[in-house]
Structure formats: structure tokens, C-alpha cells
Amino acid sequence: MALHLLKLCVGAESIEDLAAHIEWRFSTMRAQGLEPEQFHTTRMLPKRMDELLDGGSLYWVIKGNVQVRQRLKDIRPFIDGEGISRCNLVLHPELIATNWQPRRPFQGWRYLVSADAPADLGSTGAEIADMPMEMRQELASLGLL
């Protein structure tokens, strides 16, 4: 069973904001002549890397709810210019909408076992993904999503 990560998506108001940010980063990389690659830099290196890379995803908490996930491609440790150990969580750029799951704020990232991860929005959830963000937030706050 795959192990996942849970992370706050700071600065994004919606899945659409996150998608726009990813596209902006890709266009910036292309303009610099680099191969576009989606990654998130974090200070802590996961100790359970093998489990994470065996089908794991990074689940993003946006506005207090898990809303979307990205599959993990790789985890690359490195030392930054100030000598601090960090790692890049390399992600597939595809955003996979999930059922909303409320989460309280936390720092860093957390492990998330598959049994506790929200399900992906399937064909029955397509209507939810098409709803305006404000409507989704209100329905989620009422416990209806």
C-alpha cells in the first residue's frame, strides 16, 4: 500500500490557482531553456522514501481542505547555497482533484496512509469540480462535500 505526503498549499486559493502557478513556472523554465519540471522544495527529507515512491502522491491542502493531489516521481536531496540540507519533491504536473477533506493548519508535511487519503473525484464528481470555488467552499463548510 502506497504512502503519501500531506502539505499545505500556501498562496493558492483554489486548484485553478495552483494550476496557473505550475504553468507559470513551466513557462519560466522554458524561457530559460530548461526542461520544465514540477517540484516542491522542502527542508526535511522523508525517511520513508521507498514507500512514497511506490505509487505515492503529494496531497495539497487548499483553504483548509485536501482538494487535489499530484503523483510523486522522485525525491532528490541536495545542499542549498547556504549549506542547508533540503530536498525536491518531484511531481507529475497533472492535478488530480479529490473529494474534499477538512484539515487543520500544520507546518511542513505529514505522512498520509492510503486508508486516510481522500478518494479521487470520479465521473460522479465531475459536477463538483465544475462548481465555482465559492460554492465548493460553502458546501464543504456545511459538511456537504
- Which own/partner contact pairs does 22-27 have at CB distance under 8 Å and 24+ positions apart? 22/93, 22/95, 26/93
Query: What pLDDT does 89 receive?
Result: 96
CB atoms within 10 A of CB 24: 10
Query: pLDDT per position in the chain (145 positions), as tens?
Result: 789 999 999 989 999 999 999 999 999 999 999 999 999 999 989 999 999 999 999 999 999 999 999 999 999 999 999 999 999 999 999 999 999 999 998 998 999 999 999 999 865 555 666 777 677 767 766 666 6
> What distance in Å separates the CA atoms of residue 87 and residue 135, rounded to the nearest whole number?
36
Instruction: Determine the structural domain holding residue 87 and report its residue range.
Output: 3-141
State the total domains in the chain. Answer: 1
Query: What pLDDT does 29 receive?
Result: 94
Classify residue 79 as left (phi > 0), alpha (psi -120 to 50) or beta: beta
- Residue 83's φ and ψ, nearest 5 degrees, are 80, 15
> What distance in Å separates the CA atoms of residue 32 and residue 23, rounded to the nearest whole number?
14
Closest CA to 87 of 143, 48, 140: 48
Query: What pLDDT does 145 receive?
Result: 63
Closest CA to 95 of 9, 15, 6: 15
